[in-house]
Amino acid sequence: MPIQVICPGCHTRFKVGDQHAGKSGACPKCKGPIEIPEASDEVVIHAPELEAGAKDAHGRSVLNPIKRKEAKFSVNIFVVVAGLVLLSVAFAWLLGRNELGSAEFWVLAGGAILLGPPLAYVGYSFLRDDEAGFYQGTSVLLRSVVCGLVYALLWGIYMFVGTQIFGDEAFAEGLEMAQIAMLVIPILALGAGAAFVCFDLEFITGFFHFALYLMVTIGLRFVMGLPLLPGMG
């Protein structure tokens, strides 16, 4: 027989199965701690029943507040990430041993684009908030592609704005650290905003999501023997 529960914090009413009797958990609405009474201690309050299948603000059923998602770690994701990193490092090392000339720009642009979606997907798989709900299937794949392409575009914006403000020659010879900071800070904010829009991540979490992509691409530039950031001497 279902047990009627009232959250002591937000006073939300919901029901749970009698198998949860005597257990504790989190309120599906305010996340405050609640104690599920024993079936014999249940107090029946005559109030309008919640309709079957009622959902909270995140679209989850309030009839199963005790359930939790499993840990985020996945062996498959780890293997894919490790393989991607090793392959990228090896490819970057080989490119760095060759004179690319005018093709360097297109090689870097292509790498930034190809790395964007998989890194966006991997970052989201670790930084998502399981309790608040998360994207899956085709939805997360499409969002990863869009977010990854935006991340790659931010490299282009960084270089375009840098050359427009400081000039092609100064940008090629190397900018001062203050000038680099003027370019980097807005790019970091835009990257965090892209993660917020694509994955509904909090702004700080979105910053770390973009930072993962940024650190990987900067690391590959280092392997190739290039300055860590375009415009650095």
What is the per-residue pLDDT across 141-186, written as a single tens digit (0 to 9) for each? 999 999 999 999 999 999 999 999 999 998 988 899 999 999 999 9
Handedness of CA 126, 182, 109, 198 (dihedral sign): positive
Residues 23, 136 within the same domain: no
For the chain, what is the domain count?
2
pLDDT at residue 57 in the model: 57
Residues 56, 86 within the same domain: no
Place of tokens 């959250």: 7
Q: With the CA atoms of 75, 207, 115 and 153 taken in that order, what torsion angle do they form, in degrees rounded to the nearest 10?
A: 160
pLDDT at residue 62 in the model: 54
* Confidence label for 77 from pLDDT (cuts 50, 70 and 90): low
pLDDT at residue 199 in the model: 94
Decide: residue 84, CB within 10 A, 0-12 exposed, 13-18 middle, 19+ buried. Answer: middle
pTM, whole model, 2 decimals? 0.65
* Confidence label for 89 from pLDDT (cuts 50, 70 and 90): confident
Residues 44, 82 within the same domain: no
Average pLDDT estimate for 12-16 = 77
pLDDT tens readout for residues 188-206: 999 999 999 999 999 999 9
Residues 105, 60 within the same domain: no
DSSP H or E stretch at residue 228: none
Q: What is the residue range of 118's domain?
A: 75-223
Residues 48, 111 within the same domain: no
Is the predicted pLDDT of residue 85 greater than 90, yes or no? no
Last residue of one domain, picked from the residues 12, 45, 67: 67
Strand partners, 6: 13
Residues 29, 80 within the same domain: no
pLDDT at residue 69 in the model: 44
Handedness of CA 189, 190, 191, 197 (dihedral sign): positive
pLDDT at residue 8 in the model: 81
Helices (DSSP H) in the chain: which residue ranges? 75-96, 104-127, 137-166, 168-173, 177-199, 203-223
Q: What is the CB neighbour count within 10 angstroms for residue 183?
A: 20
Strand partners, 35: 24
Q: Which residue has the higher pLDDT, 119 or 92?
A: 119
How far is residue 9 from each of residues 35, 36, 38, 39, 66, measured CA to CA in Å?
12, 14, 20, 21, 17
Residues 53, 89 within the same domain: no
User: Distance between CA 148 and CA 119 in Å, rounded?
Assistant: 7
Residues 184, 119 within the same domain: yes
pLDDT at residue 66 in the model: 42
Is residue 52, in this structure, part of any structural domain at all? Answer: yes
pLDDT tens readout for residues 25-76: 888 778 778 887 776 555 544 444 444 555 655 565 555 544 444 445 566 7
At residue 68, the 3 state secondary structure works out as coil
Last residue of one domain, picked from the residues 23, 45, 67: 67
Residues 124, 209 within the same domain: yes
